[in-house]
Structure 1
Amino acid sequence: MRLKGKIAVVSGAAAGIGAATVARFAEEGATVYAGDLSFKENSEEGGILRRRLDVRDLTLWENLANEVSGAGSAQILVNNAGLVGTYASLTDVSVEDWHSVIAVNQTGVFYGMRVFIPQMLGRGGSVINVSSIWGAVGAAGVAPYTASKGAVTQMSKNGALTYAKEKVRVNSVHPGLIATPMIAAQDPNISADVVRATPMGRIGEPGEVAAVILFLASDEASYVTGAQFMVDGGYTAQ
């Protein structure tokens, strides 16, 4: 029960890494506010409170923060919501597609940190931002995705340095190719290329990423902040 008595907020919580994280947090005793755009109605079950959350909407973030503050304060925030959106290059991507991806992957993380870090100041808290291997190393094409995930990496370091003395830890997690609905929807040839470039030679599972997120959320990671955790089968070690 590593998270017993703690309140956690997880975005992009309906499937994949987000759903696996919510399940692990609940198993470890946390009360979990699970936010996702696909949740049409509020529901509660087994310590999991599902709430509709469009991470592009600051008002919805503020409403969720107000609800959480009524129950105490958030000690854990996992900014997980994200999308690839388009595989276009810098010169080919439409301006609309660019802003669409940035709004979810980068601005959504900013909003989450903006509204929930104040609840942690002085009390202690852990923010885990889900970046990507392509937020740490380069990739051709997928311009807005790589740009936004790189921004998440640096926002995490900025938050770690800004709030360290306020007892708030901020770290980023960088999944490689993980078996999620987002990956299932992409061109199989792209996935096959990434698997071939992965030393462990396989796709990862959402639970393998959730296990690292759980560690960072727990008091076991009390001296860890500003770090990048690769969960990629060795991809970025090359």
Structure 2
Amino acid sequence: MTLLAGRTALITGAGGGIGRGIALRFAEEGAAVALHCRTAVAAAEALAREIGPRAVVLPGADLTVEDDCRRLVAEAADWGGGRLDALVNNAGVQPVRALPGMPTADWRAVVDTNLTSVFACTQTAAEVMRGHGGTITHIASVEARTPALGHAHYAAAKAAVVMHARAAALEYGPYGIRVNTVSPGLIERDGLEDAWPEGVRRWREAVAVGRLGRPEDVGDACVFLASHLASWVTGHDLVVDGGASARAAW
């Protein structure tokens, strides 16, 4: 399958479960993939070995630092022969902290990691893409619409990510750059059911298709948005939650 043949993509946070799923699907569709990771270097290197010569690991960039974002995008473009066709802003954090009494430092840490990094990486990637066009996809969350307890900072940042994509779609559209978001629901990961059995049970009951999401489900959505199949789709938030958000709350 070659929906993305000949393209170079940068996936941030590729050492995690969702990032891995996105990178694998891009590679399966023919893209060369630059895998960013900050701390999960071993996981990213194992993924690169699995993909083969069309993958490279770009470790270490702290995406809360603008200069690191610019350096990362430049490295990915250099590896791609001066070209970057797709960026997936996947890196993020999801700590739990009650809003009453939340220190400003905790708020800023989540907003900078989940939102400011998206701004900086997008701005830099768009400069590279302006000559030939490209696609930028942010990984948002269903919490952009429906926040959970203890996730005020996370939900606010993800809601802003959705609006950033819509604004960027308007401003970068004339340069042939499409910008969208993917909002996943609960995605399987190792240890999730043991750590949060009641939450997993509730999610399974709410999901129309009867299962949790998988990293490749998010990857499929990102492939679609990066491909010619979505050539007239920009400024859109694609919800990937198995139908959970379609269920009435009453």
Give the alignment's TM-score, normalised by structure 1: 0.91
- 1:51 partner SS: strand
The equivalent of 1:76 in structure 2 is 86
The equivalent of 1:155 in structure 2 is 164
- The structural deviation recorded for 1:100 is 1.4
**Range moving further from structure 2, 137-146 or 4-13:** 137-146
Structure 1's 121 and 182: CA in aligned 2 closer, same or farther, altered over 3 A? Answer: farther
- Note if contact 1:105-1:149 (Cα within 8 Å) is conserved in structure 2: yes
The equivalent of 1:67 in structure 2 is 75
- The residue type paired with residue 165 of structure 2 is S
Please give the root-mean-square deviation of Cα atoms over the aligned residues, in Å: 2.1
- The structural deviation recorded for 1:14 is 1.0
- The residue type paired with residue 10 of structure 2 is V
Correspondence 1:200 to 2:209 = yes
Question: Distance in 2 between the 1:83 and 1:109 partners?
Answer: 13
Question: Distance in 2 between the 1:232 and 1:213 partners?
Answer: 14
Structure 1's 134 and 153: CA in aligned 2 closer, same or farther, altered over 3 A? Answer: same
The equivalent of 1:109 in structure 2 is 118
Question: Distance in 2 between the 1:136 and 1:207 partners?
Answer: 23
Cα deviation code 1:141-180 (max 9, x no counterpart): 3111101110111001011111111111000001000013
- The residue type paired with residue 196 of structure 1 is E
- The structural deviation recorded for 1:16 is 1.2
Cα deviation code 1:84-129 (max 9, x no counterpart): 112x332232322211111211111112102111111241111010
Question: Distance in 2 between the 1:170 and 1:11 partners?
Answer: 16
Q: Which runs of 5+ in 2 are unaligned?
A: none
Cα deviation code 1:174-194 (max 9, x no counterpart): 100001359568533333333
Structure 1's 182 and 119: CA in aligned 2 closer, same or farther, altered over 3 A? Answer: farther
Question: Distance in 1 between the 2:186 and 2:175 partners?
Answer: 34
The equivalent of 1:164 in structure 2 is 173
Q: Which runs of 5+ in 1 are unaligned?
A: none
- 1:202 partner SS: coil
Question: Distance in 2 between the 1:91 and 1:131 partners?
Answer: 24
- 1:140 partner SS: coil
Cα deviation code 1:186-221 (max 9, x no counterpart): 533333333333233321111111111111111111
- The residue type paired with residue 49 of structure 1 is V
- Note if contact 1:26-1:46 (Cα within 8 Å) is conserved in structure 2: no
Aligned residue pairs, count: 237
The equivalent of 1:10 in structure 2 is 11
Correspondence 1:137 to 2:146 = yes
- The residue type paired with residue 137 of structure 1 is T
Give the alignment's TM-score, normalised by structure 2: 0.87
Question: Distance in 2 between the 1:236 and 1:195 partners?
Answer: 12
Aligned identity (percent) is 33
- The structural deviation recorded for 1:137 is 2.9
Question: Distance in 2 between the 1:182 and 1:18 partners?
Answer: 17
Structure 1's 217 and 185: CA in aligned 2 closer, same or farther, altered over 3 A? Answer: farther
- Note if contact 1:85-1:97 (Cα within 8 Å) is conserved in structure 2: no
